[in-house]
A = this chain, B = another copy of it.
Amino acid sequence: MRGQIEFSLDAGSGVPVYRQIIKHIENAVLSGRVKAGDQLPTIRALATELKLNPNTIAKAYNELEIRGVVLTQAGSGTFISGKCPEFNEGEHSKKVFETVERFLREMNELGFDRCAVVDLLEKQPGNEN
């Protein structure tokens, strides 16, 4: 896997595919799996790999560029930006916190309090994430 970005898309989730792509790339940056200067897959390559229309990928890359996460050089490719103000340690922590809170809220809805969740996590078998 080595630095590769994993794109696990869920077409039926209601979340637009292009936003899922944005999220995966941002997460990869936030967790340090990709670094400033790294090249993203080309639009066409990723479109083929994910069986999507190139425009969908382009839309994701474009929004990332507007946000300052990536830099685009027409003719050569799309690269992780070095000077993105958003992607510092604080952002990472914040995203982790939000993810945990959302999860706990959902589990709570399903009848698990924090303790029960921890218990469950220590036992539930699963893919070895």
Contact = CB atoms under 8 A, between A and B. Distances in A.
Interface in A4-41: 6, 8, 13-16, 19, 24, 27-28, 30-33
Contact of A107 (B33, B63, B96, B118): B96
Interface string A103-129: 111111111111001101110101111
A127 B102 CA distance: 11
Contacts of A27: 106, 109-110
Copies assembled: 4
Contact of A30 (B13, B97, B110, B129): B110
Query: Interface majority SS on A: helix, strand, loop or mixed?
Result: helix
Nearest to A28: B109
A86 interface: no
A99 interface: yes
A100 interface: yes
Cβ-closest 7 pairs across A and B: A31-B111, A108-B129, A27-B109, A104-B129, A14-B15, A103-B103, A31-B110
Interface of A: 6, 8, 13-16, 19, 24, 27-28, 30-33, 63, 66-67, 92, 95-97, 99-101, 103-114, 117-118, 120-122, 124, 126-129
